Amino acid sequence: MNNIKNELKKYTVGIAGCGGLGSNCAMALARVGIGKLIIADFDTIDLSNLNRQYFFLDQVGQKKCFALKENISKITRNTVVEAYDIKLSPTEIIDLFHDCDVIVEAFDRKEMKQMIVETVITAFPKKPLVVGSGLAGWGHNNSIRARKVDNLYICGDESRETSDDLPPLAPRVGIVANMQANTVLEILLGEG
């Protein structure tokens, strides 16, 4: 375990979005001792977010990026967190994440997911990008999977989209967020 911690300390992971995917993925990566996390989100915490996002009642109304940094600081002092209150566009993605060893896509809307995938393919064709796609609803454990195409790693069922009938809920969002974190470890440490 100490060897793994010493190894993970060397790496920086960028997380684009601090909602359901980003907050849970960041906490998992901090717990295992990633050296540095660069997190970004422009949104504030709404009470309705607490059904899946790693925040607390007394944080409602706060900026997600700063609240997540605070929550990580309650778990570990070994992970440096840079938090940016910013709505990510291609320019900012390139600026913020160019030195990251891995980038995690943790947006909610598919338009934003497409934007970061296209940005990373174009600007950083060699940099690993771990995408979450397809996590709405409940059940269907075995439909959630991970696959790799070139520098892209896709986690989720790639099919179930959020809607009024199919909300994003803690269990499946948490599974995909942790699968993303698990994929980051596999990229950084090898298959083990």
The burial of 159, by beta-carbon neighbours within 10 Å (0-12 exposed, 13-18 middle, 19 or more buried), is given as exposed
Return all residues near 78 (Cβ < 8 A) that are at least 6 apart: 5, 9, 30, 33, 35
CB of 118 to another protein, least distance (A): 6
Of 98 and 109, the one with the shorter C-beta distance to another protein is 109
Contacts of 118 (CB under 8 A, 6+ apart): none
Residue 13: DSSP 8-state = E
Residue (of 70, 69, 6) closest to 38 by Cα position: 69
Cβ at position 176, least distance to another protein in Å:
8
- What character string, x for contact with another protein (CB under 8 A) and - otherwise, covers 56-95? ----------------------------------------
Shortest separation between residue 1's beta carbon and another protein, angstroms: 30
CB of 167 to another protein, least distance (A): 9
d(Cα 133, Cα 111) in Å, to the nearest integer? 12
Q: How far is the CB of 10 from another protein (least distance, A)?
A: 28
Residue 24 vs 71, nearer CB to another protein: 24
**Contact by Cβ (8 Å): 100, 124:** no
Calpha distance 13→20 (Å, rounded): 17
Give the separation between CA 156 and CA 135, rounded to whole angstroms: 6
7 binds another protein (CB under 8 A): no
Q: Using CB under 8 A, which of the segments 13-21, 54-62, 73-81, 83-91 binds another protein?
A: 13-21
Instruction: Answer yes or no whether residue 40 interacts with another protein by CB under 8 A.
Output: no
Q: Using the rule CB under 8 A, is 17 a contact of another protein? A: yes
Residue whose C-alpha is closest to residue 131's, from 122, 148, 139: 148
CB of 177 to another protein, least distance (A): 8
Does 125 sit near another protein (CB under 8 A)? yes
Which of 14, 33, 128, 132 contacts another protein by CB under 8 A?
Answer: 132
- What DSSP state is assigned to residue 75? T
Binding footprint of another protein on the chain (CB under 8 A) = 17, 19-22, 106-111, 113-114, 117-118, 121-122, 125, 131-136, 147, 149-150, 152, 154, 156, 158-162, 168, 173
